[in-house]
Structure formats: C-alpha cells, structure tokens
Homo-oligomer: A and B are copies of this chain.
Amino acid sequence: MDNKILEQAKAAKISSRVLACVTTDEKNRALGLIADALEKRCGEILAANALDVEAARAKGTSESMIDRLSLTGPRISAIAEGVRQVADLPDPVGEVVEKTTRPNGLVISKVRVPLGVIGMIYEARPNVTVDAAALTLKAGSAVLLRGSGSAMHSNETLVRVIRDALRETAIPEEAVDLIDGTSHDSVDEMMCLRGYIDLMIPRGGAGLIRRVVEGSRVPVLETGVGNCHVFVDETADADMAERIVINAKTQRPSVCNAAETLLVHRGRPDMLKRLCSALAENGVTVHGDEEVCSLIEGAVPATEKDFAEEFLSLDMAVKLVGSVDEAIEHITRYGTGHTEAIVTGSRENADHFVRSIDAAAVNVNASTRFTDGFEYGFGAEIGISTQKMHARGPLGLREITSYKYIVEGNGQIRG
C-alpha cells in the first residue's frame, strides 16, 4: 500500500465530517470562489494543459483524444459556469425525504445525508476533475480524484486552484484531493480503502469499469456502458421511427446513450429499407444479420461482437424480429441495462415492452439520447448508473447521497 494514498484518504475522511455540517450558503460561496479562481487563473491552467497536450502529441495520441484532453479559454469559462450552475441547484443534504409519527409518539424522519468520501476514477478529460469536485462538494462529500496520467499537469493545477479557493472557506481543502494518475496501482489501492472511501465511481471505457466493479472492496456505482437498442414495432409511424433512429444513432455516436442496435419488426420490410437508407445517408454503416444483408444493399455482415458490444461510432447492428417478445429476448440477452427504446403505435406493445425490459431507462417513442441528468431535470450529473443497487440511470446530486433516520422521542422505550 502506497502510504500517500492512505494518508490522502484519511485526511479526506476527516474533512468529510466537517464538510457534512457546512451550511448550504457556505458550500455555494465556496463554489463561487472556485469558479472565479478558475477564470482568474486561466493562464496557469492553460500552461499546464499545454504540457499534457504536447506529451500526448509526442506519444502519437489520436486527434479525438487530444480534443478531449485540450482546454481553451472558452472551455475553462464553460467549466467555471458549470460550477456556478451547481451552486444554483438545491442542496440535497438535509432534505427530509419522509416524516412519520408512530402510535407511540416517536417522530421518525428520513433525512438525506452525505456519503462521506467518493473516489472518482476517470480518463483524460480535465473538465471531469472540476465537475466531479463541484458535484461532490455540493452533495456534502469529500472527493478523491484519480484522473488519467496523461492529464496530470492539468489536473494538478485544477486541484491546486480548487484547494486554494477552499482555503478561504469553512470547507477543509483536504476535501478535494488528486490521486496519482501516473501509477497503474493507484486504482487498486483506492479499491482496498474500505472504511476510508465510501463509494467508487469509475467513468470511462468498459475495461476500466469492469476492473473496478470486479476488484473493488469499496462499494461501486457502475456507470456508462450502454449497448442501447431501438426496436421499431410493426405499428410504428415511419416518420417518427426514422427521426428517432437517426437521432439515437448519429446525434453523438461516441456517448453511452447513443443507440447501437436497431431491431425492426419483420412485418415491415418497407420500414427496414427506409431506415437503412436514412442511416446510409447519414454516413452510418449497417451491420446486418443474414436476413438484413439479403434485403439491404451495402449492409455488411454483422458479427456476434457487433450485437454484443458498443460501436461508439457511425455503425449500427440491424436485425429483423418477429414480435415484441423476440425484441425483448434479444435485448435481455445483449443489453447492458442502460437505455432501451420502442417506437410503436400500440399502447399494448408499449406497456409489454416497458414491463419486460430490465434497464435504467425504457423509452417509448423517444430517442435513447434523453438518458441524461440535464434532460431529466436533475441540473447536472456525475454519470449514468447501469446497476440496480443504490441508484439507476442519471446520477444527480441526490443520487450521490445517503440518508439517515432521526428518531425523536420523549423517553419512549420498547415494550
């Protein structure tokens, strides 16, 4: 065990007890100071980021990765604005979720409380460093940020700016700390810190998430892998189906709520043809099963992997099914519990699909792209959970809290 990480976690745990009792006003003031400091120290942040970008280029990193890593003046302003928006959100801590008076006079309140210390593991996007810190602080928890080694200069500077701002507040600066992202072992070390870290949130590729989910002794919120389907039912409106399929696949293909597989009812070969030609027009390669390939010119044969994994690109697996039940069966086999959509004109089929599909979000006549904290009205999100425990779907402020029961009496004892 790296003693540094243990020390950081211990300090975060101690700070979390102070943070848990900080008022909403003081938390919001701290977020305002952080936002101001990010803008004021923009030059310093950009200089650090330039070192990371230079190193990434020297390693031959792809341009799309370089883009994710790169900060600019306007990007830093947008990040600061995001922090101010978190300050404007209602404070989840202290919310009375339920309150009952028992026959014996005991008043039992279920009250939202902070989780304690949250460990975030993520890849080379420096904006996540600030977003995660802002959200966890507002939710009353300390955060240990383990970003990618390739963003280390940027992250170090961002965390220094945040901590300098915290020094002028009632929040201990130890409540935000950066874990060494250049060490592969640091992830494993964090996963062992049961008792110090209360929750791990891995964000990134399927491999990273699997590693944390399978190895962690600290509870995990599994996020992000979305092998999402759109099923176009026999009764679907063709215009609506085309609009939804194109949006779900092409509006932002690299994200987890983009659709990866299209299932079309076999009774509508016209629909299949129309959708496939719309996909082709939008630059999407259709990976069809044998039947689809025999009907659609330009379709390439789909492999098992095409149905089982995310493309995250302008590719879509396409398959004909004979019924809603066959669509449900396919999705049950290949889905990752993220978002599944049906396009249908039948209330009955919609209800059957909604009841039978086991996923965070089941959409009827709406694009899969809506599974998102902002779209749900949460104001912000720290990820999308694909697990069933604790929180499912978009993770807003409430979803990164716990609760406790406060039981108030006047001397009651149990008979």
With contacts A217-B214, A411-B237, A413-B244 taken as known, whether A389 is within 8 angstroms of B366 at the C-beta atoms is: no
List the B side residues contacting A408 at CB < 8 Å: 350, 363-366
Within 8 Å of chain B (Cβ to Cβ): is A198?
A: yes
Indicate whether A288 reaches chain B with its CB closer than 8 angstroms. Answer: no
The residues of B that contact A403 with a CB separation of less than 8 Å are 392
B residues less than 8 Å from A359 (CB atoms): 404
CB atoms of B219 and A219 under 8 A apart: yes
Chain B contacts of A355 at CB under 8 A? 20-21
Secondary structure of the A contact surface, majority rule: mixed
The A17-49 residues at the B interface (CB cut-off 8 A) are 17, 20-21
Task: Please indicate the chain B residues that have their CB under 8 angstroms from the CB of A237 in the complex.
Answer: 411
Q: Find chain B residues with CB under 8 A from A409 CB.
A: 363-366, 370
Kindly state whether residue A302 has any CB partner on chain B within 8 Å.
no
**Count of A interface residues, CB-CB < 8 Å:** 65
Q: Decide yes or no whether A206 CB sits under 8 A from chain B.
A: no
B405–A393 touching, CB < 8 Å: yes
A219 partner, pick from B350, B371, B387, beta carbons under 8 A = B387
Which residues from chain B contact A248 at a C-beta distance below 8 Å? 413
Asked if B390 contacts A389 (CB within 8 A), the reply is yes
Interface contacts beyond A359-B404, A366-B408, A366-B411: sample of 4 additional A-B pairs, CB < 8 Å, sorted by A: A108-B376, A198-B389, A366-B407, A392-B402
